[in-house]
Amino acid sequence: MSVPATTGPERAPRSDAELVLSACHGDADAWEAIVDRHLGMVNRIARSYGLPRQDHEDAVQTVWLRLNQNLPRLHSPHLLAAWLSRAAHTACGRQRQHRRRLLPVDPLALAEHLHHPTDPEHEYLLKERHAELHRAIGELTDPVDRRVARHYLDDSPDARPISHRTTPNQRRHLFRQLRRSLGATREPNERRA
């Protein structure tokens, strides 16, 4: 007949509040017990967000770091599971938002920009031409023509096309007026070139 080995009186598992109190006093075993008890829940929450492995791991580490930083300040240590759940949802949500903000960039597109530096002279000439065009638009007599011409110059991404509001004849008339205005300001020798 074999006798079961006993290591002493069987102890009931400690509550979260007791583990938090012990961990606050530097008990490494209490910290390990907290992590062992709640790691599965934190991992399940992080997996539910569908994050890539690296982001998932970062979120989980963030939860444990925040717990370590805030352990002495927990007002309700018996609600540790709820605190960890909320911290996991917050960390995963932030990780997801951060991931959405990062847009992948083709390295070849970056290399293309490195090989074609902007020429200061070219930039200056573009600005000068743009200023001359705005001056010519300002000299148009019809306010509607001025407004339409300024819409044509608007190259912002949210600019609406105005071609559906003007007829081809109106656009041709506008371009003729602008060409005349721009041609009148040039020197006679510039016109020949």
Q: Tokens standing for 52?
A: 């890539």
- Torsion angles phi and psi, residue 8, rounded to 5: 135, -175
pTM check: above 0.75: no
Per-residue pLDDT reduced to its tens digit, 100-117: 877 677 777 766 666 556
Instruction: Give the integer Cα–Cα distance in Å for 30 and 20.
Output: 7
Could you give the count of Cα atoms lying within 13 Å of 167 in the half-sphere of its Cβ? 3
Counting as low any pLDDT under 70, the low residues of the chain are 1-11, 103, 110-118, 152-166, 184-193
Q: What is the pLDDT of residues 155-189, one digit of tens each?
A: 555 555 555 566 777 777 777 877 777 776 555 55
